[in-house]
Amino acid sequence: MLRSLALTLTLTIATACTTREPAKSEPSPAEPTRQDQRVELELVRVPDGLAAPVIAELGLPATGLIAARHRIDPGWHLYWRNPGGAGLPVRLTSTPSEGSTLELGPVLYPAPDRFDTSFGWADEAILFVPILSEAGAGAGEGLTIVSKWVACQSEACVAGENHATLGAEPVGEALGLELQGMLDRLPRPLGERLASHAWSQTDERVTLELSLAGDVRSIELFPDASDPALFFSESRFDPERRTLTITWRLGSPGHTLPTSQGVLAWTDSAQTRYHELRLPWPALPN
Amino acid sequence: MHSHSPLLPCSLALLFALVGCDANHPDADPKTEPGKPEPGKSASFSAPAGYVAHFADALNSTLTSTAVATAETKAWGCSVKYAGDGPSATAKLGEPAPAFALPDVDGKTLSLAEFAGKTVVLEWFNPDCPFVKYAHAEAGPLRTMAKDRGSEIVWLAINSGAPGKQGAGAERNREAKQEYAIEHPILLDESGAVGRSYGATNTPHMFVIDPSGKLTYAGALDNAPMGTVGD
């Protein structure tokens, strides 16, 4: 917990520091780059009309969002913040333009899809970067983001990186719909949607049973990595009782647990919604 | 959000915070002699802040006959490119490691039994997996680790990739021995039977077997896939 807090604060400091540093290179503005054949990267500022409701729902201290849009070759996929059984999370690094006062927050990862034992996105992955502060309109223009990733398909994996620079081009209708689709996948706080939950433990396992309020047809968990303290075993939805049972196997004592158990994807009669499952962990054996 | 920052104060702030946090980590191992690589760690490798050498720590404990503090971690890397599905793992920590006999890249068969009484490292391997490329690169954590250990241990790389999959086959792995300056055997497990018996899911995926033949560690090389400590 302390380590996570220190890391967050430190990265915020480091990000704030870089806002005074000029950019080292001058890539052409807003041109998607194709430095590797598997992935293209494009940066756009999310229109305020799309960003503002999400910022409010997530309770972010942000003035806007930057979208890092990865277009992925057919058959390949990129990886979520917990890649699961294989792969590596997409990692973004920023370099603000000369004289910029931009301050950016931690990357927001939309809920993923499942690829066998892994979690990620095929075809397109849009990650969002909150703008925590900016002086004046257009402060983000010239911001360069480098994306480092591992892409895999069933036969092979490759590592690569792309860079892109934020321009001032308006977002068209088609891209706006794509952005909205991925913004909808940003996990919201669970809040009052959580109807009940109960932890239980044995010598070998930790189990959480939960139910959600509303017309819930299915629930799935995309777990955060919690090893080597706990190893995620399974999550199973009981359609009769409308409960989700999540099981972890106990690992080695003394290791830090993540602040979140993962992301819940639940479906009603109309759509799938995503919530961050962030409950205090039970006391584990020392 | 990660940011490039050439400003020294900022870099120092980042380094200080991460090192400061890691100093209290239960796996942090401060036993480094001046002028020598930390035991079990590659001499060519410079560990990032917050680094935890899960595998090397377990190997050191096994060599000194002390209990392994973290005997299991989740391996990271590429998935092992098996030929379809297969049986579940039979290997269990603290129990005898599954026996095997496999050909190396020159067709010579090696069996685990012939190394009885020695500490054995098994490293699941795919020379074209980006995680393996990173680990065996000039400054990678596995570049010199096996050589640094000398005759203290037996190190066996095992490639369970099916024919036609990325990094599979005797020819490619013979090349890889040169490419990565690997002196230990690379064994070919094209049926995947040995990999499955150990539950090897990734490349690299590390296992340690003590001199009595029992499995003392299964899991990740460290907590820093591709050199980056998770955040």
ipTM of the complex in this document: 0.84
Helix (H) or strand (E) holding A117: none
Please indicate whether, in this complex, the C-beta atoms of B1 and A15 are within 8 angstroms of each other.
yes
Binned at pLDDT 50, 70 and 90, residue B152 comes out as confident
* Cβ under 8 Å to B: A residues 152-171: 152, 155-159
Of B14, B20, B166, Cβ closest to residue A155: B166
Please indicate whether, in this complex, the C-beta atoms of A11 and B1 are within 8 angstroms of each other.
yes
Token pair of B188, please? 């070919």
- CA A207 to chain centroid: 25
For the stretch A27-78, pLDDT in tens is: 333 344 444 479 999 999 999 999 999 999 999 999 999 999 999 999 999 9
Beta-bridge partners for A39: A36, A72
**Is the CB of residue B76 less than 8 Å away from at least one CB of chain A?**
yes
Please tell me whether residue A111 adopts helix, strand or coil conformation. Answer: coil
Predicted pLDDT at B19:
30
Q: Is the dihedral of CA A244, A250, A254, A255 positive or negative?
A: negative
- Mean pLDDT in residue range B44-64: 93
Predicted pLDDT at B64:
96
- Mean pLDDT in residue range B209-216: 98
Contact B167, B126 (CB under 8 A): yes
Contact B112, B181 (CB under 8 A): no
Single-letter code of the amino acid located at B1:
M
Q: Which residues of chain A make contact with B2, given a CB cutoff of 8 A?
A: 11, 14, 91-94
pLDDT above 70: residue B16: no
More confident residue, B2 or B208: B208
pLDDT above 80: residue B115: yes
Token pair of A59, please? 């309770």
Binned at pLDDT 50, 70 and 90, residue B2 comes out as low
Q: Name residue, tokens 């990660």.
A: B2
Gap between the Cα atoms of A74 and A69, Å rounded: 15
Q: Which residues of chain A make contact with B206, given a CB cutoff of 8 A?
A: none
Q: Which residues of chain B make contact with A252, given a CB cutoff of 8 A?
A: 69-72
**Is the CB of residue B14 less than 8 Å away from at least one CB of chain A?**
yes
**Is the CB of residue B18 less than 8 Å away from at least one CB of chain A?**
yes
Q: Which residue, A96, A115, A56, A171, is CA-closest to B78?
A: A115
Q: Which residues of chain B make contact with A105, given a CB cutoff of 8 A?
A: 1
Gap between the Cα atoms of A209 and B204, Å rounded: 34
Contact B155, B177 (CB under 8 A): no
Contact A244, A263 (CB under 8 A): no
First to last CA, chain A: 16
The residues, ordered by sequence, that sit 6+ positions from A183 with a Cβ below 8 Å of its Cβ are A46, A50, A51, A54, A65, A110, A128
* Cβ under 8 Å to B: A residues 198-237: 225, 227-228, 231
Binned at pLDDT 50, 70 and 90, residue B231 comes out as low
Token pair of B139, please? 């400054």
For the stretch A65-123, pLDDT in tens is: 999 999 999 999 999 999 999 999 999 999 887 777 889 999 999 999 999 999 999 99
Q: Which residues of chain B make contact with A83, given a CB cutoff of 8 A?
A: 76
pTM, to two decimals: 0.84
> Burial, A281: exposed, middle or buried (Cβ in 10 Å; 0-12, 13-18, 19+)?
middle
pLDDT above 80: residue B6: no
Q: Which residue, B228, B229, B184, B199, is CA-closest to B72?
A: B199
For the stretch A164-187, pLDDT in tens is: 999 888 899 999 999 999 999 999
Token pair of B119, please? 């500490």
Token pair of A197, please? 């939950």
Mind telling me how many Å the CA of B194 is from chain A's nearest CA?
19
Predicted pLDDT at B41:
61
Binned at pLDDT 50, 70 and 90, residue B38 comes out as low
Gap between the Cα atoms of B185 and B177, Å rounded: 9
First to last CA, chain B: 10
DSSP 8-state secondary structure symbol assigned to residue B64: T
Gap between the Cα atoms of A50 and A183, Å rounded: 8
Please indicate whether, in this complex, the C-beta atoms of B72 and A251 are within 8 angstroms of each other.
yes
Q: Name residue, tokens 């209290």.
A: B24
More confident residue, A3 or A267: A267
Predicted pLDDT at A221:
98
Of B5, B50, B130, Cβ closest to residue A18: B5
Q: Which residue, B207, B71, B49, is CA-closest to A231?
A: B71
Of B4, B72, B226, Cβ closest to residue A228: B72
- CA A20 to chain centroid: 27
Contact A207, A235 (CB under 8 A): no
Predicted pLDDT at A142:
85
Gap between the Cα atoms of A128 and A137, Å rounded: 19
**Is the CB of residue A5 less than 8 Å away from at least one CB of chain B?**
no
Single-letter code of the amino acid located at A197:
H
Gap between the Cα atoms of B219 and B151, Å rounded: 23
Predicted pLDDT at A29:
37
CA-nearest residue of chain A to B28?
A255
- CA B10 to chain centroid: 33
Please indicate whether, in this complex, the C-beta atoms of A117 and B14 are within 8 angstroms of each other.
no
For the stretch A214-230, pLDDT in tens is: 999 999 999 999 999 99
> Burial, A116: exposed, middle or buried (Cβ in 10 Å; 0-12, 13-18, 19+)?
exposed
Count of residues for chain B? 231
Task: For residue B62, report the phi and psi dihedrals to the nearest 5 degrees.
Answer: -65, -40
Gap between the Cα atoms of A278 and B26, Å rounded: 24
Please indicate whether, in this complex, the C-beta atoms of A21 and B5 are within 8 angstroms of each other.
yes
Predicted pLDDT at A233:
95
**Is the CB of residue B9 less than 8 Å away from at least one CB of chain A?**
yes
CA-nearest residue of chain A to B71?
A252
pLDDT above 80: residue A13: no
Predicted pLDDT at B39:
52
Q: Which residue, A76, A231, A66, is CA-closest to A140?
A: A66
Contact A245, A207 (CB under 8 A): yes
**Is the CB of residue A101 less than 8 Å away from at least one CB of chain B?**
no
Ordered alpha helix ranges (H), B64-192:
130-136, 145-149, 170-179
Q: Which residues of chain B make contact with A102, given a CB cutoff of 8 A?
A: none
Compute the count of residue pairs across chains A and B with CB atoms less than 8 Å apart. 138
Please indicate whether, in this complex, the C-beta atoms of A85 and B1 are within 8 angstroms of each other.
no
Binned at pLDDT 50, 70 and 90, residue B202 comes out as very high
Of all residues in chain A, the percent with pLDDT exceeding 90 is 75
